[in-house]
Amino acid sequence: MEQPTTPPSVVYEHAHHIDAHEELGWWRKYVFSTDHKVIGIQYAITGLLFLLFGFGLMMLMRWQLAYPGKPIPLIGPWLGQSRAPMGIMLPEFYNQLGAMHGTIMVFLGVVPLAVGGFGNFVMPLQIGAPDMAFPKINMMSYWVYFIGGVIMLASFFPTTGAAQSGWTSYTPLSVITATSGQTFWLVGMIFLITSSLLGSINFITTIVQLRAKGLSYMRLPFFVWAQFVTSFLLLLAFPPLEAAGILQLMDKVAGTSFFLPSGLVISGKPLAVAGQGNPLLWQHLFWFLAHPEVYVLILPAMGIVSEIIANNTRKPLWGYKALVYSVVFLGFMSFIVWAHHMFMTGMGTTMSAFFQTTTMIISIPSVVILTALLLSLWGASIRFTTPMLFALAFLPMFGIGGLTGLPLGLAPSDIHLHDTYYVIGHFHYVVAPGTIFALFAGIYHWFPKATGRKMNELLGKLHFWGSLVCINLVFMPMFIQGLAGMNRRMYDGGAQYAHNQGVLHWNVVQGYAAWGLGLFQIFFIINFFMSLKWGKAVDKNPWEATTLEWLAPSPPGHGNFLTEPIVYRAPYEYSVPGAAKDFSPQFEPEKA
Amino acid sequence: MNIPYTVEERPDSGLANGKLGIWLFLASEVMLFGALFSTYIILRTGATEWPHGELSVPLGALNTVLLISSSVTMVMAWAMLKLHNWGRHRLYLLATFALAGIFLVNKYFEYSDHLARGEGPSHSTFLAIYFTLTGLHGLHIVGGMVVMAYLLGPGARLWKQNPDQFTNRIEYTGLYWHFVDLVWIFLFPVLYLL
């Protein structure tokens, strides 16, 4: 192996000095901190709260779908005249819930938790860095995200409510809807995009520059590779959406018509704009971001699952190199598949043929990754801990999500399935029981590193099994409904259409499953807070893992490592023949 | 706590952290302006008619000269630090700042001329993309001026404590400044001439 360079030893010479003399105040330590671990935890907590909030919006929608036009129990009366008079949801409010559920879950929940939370907390530890390369920019990234989140939340307060043109904000609908919600949405998005931009620059620089001595690229844990590729996607795919957001904001505020075609007539009156705009342009710019965004959602999840599977199978990951090459190829390909979201727009068969070809190609690396993870289980004596259960469930759940995507990636079958509940089922399988399960796995796995205590196994298993059953009961019926032709974004769940009558009863099942899913999250919340105080205290390496973060104290102090970490081997050397124990950490020399 | 490679280069990558950071930032900026230029192309190719001669070519050409000159003075500001000539460095950095300021004054006259005639962004698709592209570019100019003002003012103290780090900061500011200049070199023909 090549000998990478030594980081200057000053870091560790001064570490003690700083611990002794530079006690930061409460505000600098917990609120405006520049420590990547504190920022990671801030991101994670904020992200979890947004996930809970977004889930709450969804539960309101599921009530309306299961019982259209019936007053919402308990909180219905609190929603106010402009949203739900007499507790009965208005169509406009349903649209707001739909648009904001998507926006919040993707941009304020999953990405901040997966990248901002796990990436910030775990990645510098795994590469043996004392912190991120730009700690102040890291802090700024969190606070810009926070402001974006506040703007998104604030958009609910004006009586005309939040954005209501779907999380995709398709033009011209989003521009001609004369409420302030969409303007809030656009300004909020510009903040969120700026935040990811700052974060991704920091992540890439940290991974390139601050790897510990001996940690070559092919010795990086797979989680770091996943974050590395994710950061490039955020860096390069988000700016076009920022451009699109600026253009739509100009349409909303300055009266331009980038996305408004000539001769648009609304409610019988011609729209007084210059015209000559191109509504499809928005879709192109939006999906140029939003398809890589799908991989931003899934790659960190794959990284987390890889770490946990290697640790709990006590075996090296099967095909580490194939995993790395696949994830890089996947990242590259994700930039040239976006228009498979647009087969129905009449953009032409040549375009469709190109994009369905690239879409079929991108499924190959995804399958390679999933297969490698599945084969890693072969012949292992698996430890069925809570994180491992979530990680194991990720494999079939992501598998269902991925495979149901193939008919959507082919133009002929997509024309039948487009904008039905089948699509909703497909991408939720990828993101909800896929990514979010992986994120739970990660929380259970790294909680001991962040707090020095383990989470409770019994509560964890209740949380897992309950969530697994409920979440499948929410999403599996969507395939049935979608294949029957039920459209998405229907305020009454499609009750007025004859072809939906045979599948409407599933809405009630999904409603109960959604509320059940909510109840099972209570086990997680209780477990989280209880374990903070009374969880079993652990030392540095409770899972007997091999990667560098388990060399640092639990929880690690400012500056992370007590001595300079040096890497001697590949990341997943479990059950090495002839070794004294069944794990050989990266930080232990060959001859120990 | 010190972060490694804030000033010196990491031997295997040949970069200091800041230099990699600024290049990554510029990569994302390329995507931002790339998307806007693509928008321009799509709108223009889809348009039934496209106005010509709406903008003052002499003013645009003058601004091009100003920005190119400011790129030269920016390089000189950095080179003077390498030669440890602090006085000349200040002079060149101040010149860069001033040229950027004159650029903005010019831009102000162009904008107010259009607005006085009632030709704002909503007037036509051409003016919409003109105001958006040049407005965003103008914001980048202002951003660069804020950084330069900092490096001329309170940020200049770093030269005494850590001259290498200060020189790096001037270099990174310069990289950004050349990018902003480059965007204008595309904007000028696209909006004024073609």
pLDDT of res. A586: 96
User: Token match 């192109």: residue?
Assistant: A284
The shortest CB-CB distance from B1 to any of A15, A273, A275 is to A15
Measured CA to CA in angstroms, residue B45 lies from A276, A448, A564, B11 at distances of 11, 58, 59, 48
Instruction: Tell me if A246 and B120 make a contact (CB, 8 A cut-off).
Output: no
Q: Which of A514, A304, A300, A517 is nearest to A390 (CA)?
A: A304
Instruction: Tell me if A257 and B125 make a contact (CB, 8 A cut-off).
Output: yes
The shortest CB-CB distance from A210 to any of B4, B39, B122 is to B4
Q: Which of A164, A128, A574, A558 is nearest to A380 (CA)?
A: A574
The whole-model pTM stands at 0.95
d(CA A306, CA A376): 9
**Contact status, residue B189 vs residue B36, Cβ threshold 8 Å:** no
> Which tokens in the block code for residue A11?
């870091």
d(CA A430, CA A437): 10
Q: Which residues of A touch B45 (CB under 8 A)?
A: none
Percent of chain A with pLDDT over 70: 96
Alpha carbon B102 to chain centroid, angstroms: 13
**DSSP class of A254:** I
Q: Find, in chain B, the residue whose alpha carbon is nearest to that of A9.
A: B4
Instruction: Tell me if A276 and B43 make a contact (CB, 8 A cut-off).
Output: yes
pLDDT 10s digits, A148-171: 999 999 999 998 999 999 999 999
d(CA A582, CA A478): 44
| φ, ψ for residue A265, nearest 5 deg | -115, 125
pLDDT band at A22 (very low <50, low <70, confident <90, very high): low
The dihedral built from the CA positions of residue A518, A520, A526 and A527, taken in this order, carries a sign that is negative
DSSP A36-74: HHHHHHHHHHHHHHHHHHHHHHHHHHHHHHHSTTSPPTT
pLDDT 10s digits, A42-59: 999 999 999 999 999 999
The shortest CB-CB distance from B35 to any of A210, A256, A285 is to A285
pLDDT 10s digits, A200-254: 999 999 999 999 999 999 999 999 999 999 999 999 999 999 999 999 999 999 9
* A79-99 mean pLDDT: 94
Q: Which residues of B touch A4 (CB under 8 A)?
A: 12
d(CA B122, CA B119): 8
**Res B68 pLDDT > 60:** yes
A5 Cα to chain B: minimum distance (Å): 7
Helix (H, G, I), strand (E, B) or coil at A19: helix
> Which tokens in the block code for residue A350?
């040549």
B48 touches chain A (CB under 8 A): yes
Q: Which residues of A touch B42 (CB under 8 A)?
A: 278, 281
Average pLDDT along chain B: 96
| ipTM here | 0.96
**Res A299 pLDDT > 70:** yes
Q: Which residue has the higher pLDDT, A14 or A292?
A: A292
**Contact status, residue B89 vs residue B77, Cβ threshold 8 Å:** yes
The shortest CB-CB distance from A5 to any of B10, B128, B132 is to B10
Instruction: Tell me if A276 and B29 make a contact (CB, 8 A cut-off).
Output: no
* A74-100 mean pLDDT: 93
pLDDT of res. A15: 44
Q: Which residues of A touch B39 (CB under 8 A)?
A: 243, 247, 258, 281, 285
Residue A369: HSE in the Cβ half-sphere, 13 Å Cα cutoff = 33
Measured CA to CA in angstroms, residue B159 lies from A516, B72, B81, B154 at distances of 62, 22, 9, 11
The shortest CB-CB distance from A274 to any of B8, B24, B124 is to B124
Beta carbons within 10 angstroms of residue A584's beta carbon: 21
Instruction: Tell me if B2 and A130 make a contact (CB, 8 A cut-off).
Output: yes
The shortest CB-CB distance from A197 to any of B5, B28, B136 is to B28
Instruction: Tell me if A205 and B27 make a contact (CB, 8 A cut-off).
Output: no
pLDDT band at A272 (very low <50, low <70, confident <90, very high): confident
Residue A310: HSE in the Cβ half-sphere, 13 Å Cα cutoff = 25
pLDDT 10s digits, A537-580: 999 999 999 999 999 999 999 899 999 999 999 999 999 999 99
B1 Cα to chain A: minimum distance (Å): 6
Q: Find, in chain B, the residue whose alpha carbon is nearest to that of A233.
A: B28
**Contact status, residue B53 vs residue B126, Cβ threshold 8 Å:** no
Q: Find, in chain B, the residue whose alpha carbon is nearest to that of A249.
A: B132
Pairing of strands A269-270, A265-266: antiparallel
Q: Which of A88, A107, A98, A2 is nearest to A47 (CA)?
A: A107
Q: Which residues of B touch A196 (CB under 8 A)?
A: none
pLDDT of res. A18: 45
* A287-316 mean pLDDT: 96
Q: Which residues of B touch A235 (CB under 8 A)?
A: 24, 27-28
Q: Which residues of A touch B40 (CB under 8 A)?
A: none
B87 Cα to chain A: minimum distance (Å): 30
User: Token match 């939003």: residue?
Assistant: A290
B92 Cα to chain A: minimum distance (Å): 29
B 115-154 near A (Cβ less than 8 A): 120-125, 128-129, 131-132, 136
Q: Which of A248, A276, A278 to mutate to test the interface with B (most CBs of B within 10 A)?
A: A276
d(CA A108, CA A55): 12
pLDDT band at B131 (very low <50, low <70, confident <90, very high): very high
Q: Residue A269: which H helix or E strand, with range?
A: strand A269-270
**DSSP class of B190:** I
**Res A17 pLDDT > 60:** no
**Contact status, residue A470 vs residue A509, Cβ threshold 8 Å:** no
B 15-34 near A (Cβ less than 8 A): 15, 17, 20-21, 24-25, 27-29, 31-34
Q: Find, in chain B, the residue whose alpha carbon is nearest to that of A279.
A: B43
Burial status of residue A81 (CB atoms within 10 A of its CB: 0-12, 13-18, 19 or more): exposed
pLDDT of res. A275: 85
**Contact status, residue A30 vs residue A583, Cβ threshold 8 Å:** no
Instruction: Tell me if B21 and A131 make a contact (CB, 8 A cut-off).
Output: no
> Which tokens in the block code for residue A509?
């099942």
d(CA A442, CA A543): 13
Chain A to chain B, count of Cβ pairs less than 8 Å apart? 146
The shortest CB-CB distance from A274 to any of B46, B48, B123 is to B123
* A457-484 mean pLDDT: 98
Instruction: Tell me if A258 and B125 make a contact (CB, 8 A cut-off).
Output: yes
| φ, ψ for residue A266, nearest 5 deg | -120, 130
Instruction: Tell me if B28 and A135 make a contact (CB, 8 A cut-off).
Output: no
Alpha carbon A51 to chain centroid, angstroms: 10
d(CA B78, CA B81): 5
d(CA A592, CA A176): 69
B33 Cα to chain A: minimum distance (Å): 8
* A259-266 mean pLDDT: 92
> Which tokens in the block code for residue A183?
């303007």
> Which tokens in the block code for residue A270?
């011609």
The shortest CB-CB distance from B35 to any of A210, A240, A558 is to A240
What percent of chain B is helix, strand and coil (3-state, nearest 5)?
80, 0, 20
Q: Residue A475: which H helix or E strand, with range?
A: helix A457-483
Instruction: Tell me if A243 and B36 make a contact (CB, 8 A cut-off).
Output: yes
d(CA A131, CA A50): 26
Q: Residue A265: which H helix or E strand, with range?
A: strand A265-266
**Contact status, residue A273 vs residue A257, Cβ threshold 8 Å:** yes
Residue A191: HSE in the Cβ half-sphere, 13 Å Cα cutoff = 18
Q: Which residues of B touch A8 (CB under 8 A)?
A: 2, 4-5, 8
Measured CA to CA in angstroms, residue B86 lies from A531, B76, B91, B93, B172 at distances of 58, 12, 9, 11, 18
Measured CA to CA in angstroms, residue A53 lies from A59, A105, B125 at distances of 10, 9, 40
**What CATH code is assigned to A33-261+277-550?**
1.20.210.10
Number of H helices and E strands in chain B, helices first, is 6, 0
Q: Find, in chain B, the residue whose alpha carbon is nearest to that of A272.
A: B122
pLDDT 10s digits, A368-390: 999 999 999 999 999 999 999 99
The dihedral built from the CA positions of residue A68, A492, A488 and A503, taken in this order, carries a sign that is positive
Q: Find, in chain A, the residue whose alpha carbon is nearest to that of B121.
A: A256
Structural domains of chain B ordered from first start? 17-193 (1.20.120.80)
Q: Which residues of B touch A137 (CB under 8 A)?
A: 21
Q: Which residues of B touch A197 (CB under 8 A)?
A: 25, 28
Average pLDDT along chain A: 93
The shortest CB-CB distance from B32 to any of A5, A243, A258 is to A243
pLDDT band at B179 (very low <50, low <70, confident <90, very high): very high
pLDDT band at A500 (very low <50, low <70, confident <90, very high): very high
Beta carbons within 10 angstroms of residue A592's beta carbon: 10
| φ, ψ for residue B162, nearest 5 deg | -145, 80
HEC assignment per residue over A315-377: CCCCCHHHHHHHHHHHHHHHHHCHHHHCHHHCCCHHHHHHHHHHHHHHHHHHHHHHHHHHHHC
**Res A393 pLDDT > 80:** yes
d(CA A451, CA A471): 29
Helix (H, G, I), strand (E, B) or coil at A487: strand
Instruction: Tell me if B4 and A7 make a contact (CB, 8 A cut-off).
Output: yes
Instruction: Tell me if B35 and A244 make a contact (CB, 8 A cut-off).
Output: yes
d(CA A583, CA A477): 43
pLDDT of res. A590: 79
Instruction: Tell me if B4 and A209 make a contact (CB, 8 A cut-off).
Output: yes
Paired strand residues for A165? none
Helix (H, G, I), strand (E, B) or coil at A453: strand
Instruction: Tell me if A254 and B39 make a contact (CB, 8 A cut-off).
Output: no
Whether residue A172 is preceded by a cis peptide bond, meaning omega within 30 degrees of 0, is yes
Q: Which of A319, A309, A431 is nearest to A372 (CA)?
A: A319
For residue B118, give the amino acid letter: G
A322 Cα to chain B: minimum distance (Å): 24
**Res A4 pLDDT > 80:** no
> Which tokens in the block code for residue B41?
């192309």
d(CA B36, CA A383): 52
